[in-house]
Amino acid sequence: MASEISTLSNPIVETNVLSSVQGYPTLDVAVDRYLMSMPSEYYTIGNVEELKDLMANSQPLLVDVREPSEYRSGHIPSAINIPLRTLSRNLNKIPSDRPVVLYCSTGYRSSMGVMTLHLLNYDNVKGFPVI
């Protein structure tokens, strides 16, 4: 019985999430590579004029990642609502062939959404922090 307990507890103690497994990079190296691949502007639209210019020239899809009650209380005209927590379940609504702009009330949820979509190989997504 004591050997079963020690056998069960050893994998937990010895498991190192950051260790390399069968040629894959360690978690810290993979995260570092991802973060270093981000351009200095961090996939962000910096101001209202830049958003207006993008809207006039590229017809982006605007995605409000706030909760439905927040969306109903007011949103950018033509924006669709996909709450951040449901983003990965609604990828069929997010095109990969035209610009996509995510926004929320502070920029926190939109930046999480941008990172999520970039991890899922969307390279056409930017965030607009409405502050």
Phi, psi of 31 (to 5 degrees): -65, -45
Q: Which of 104, 114, 117, 125 is catalytic?
A: 104
Map residue 122 onto helix, strand or coil.
coil
Amino acid, res. 109 = R
Q: Is 84 a catalytic residue?
A: no
Cβ–Cβ under 8 Å, residues 92 and 130:
no
Residue 37 has a CB neighbour count (10 Å cut-off) of: 8
Which residues are known to be catalytic? Answer: 104
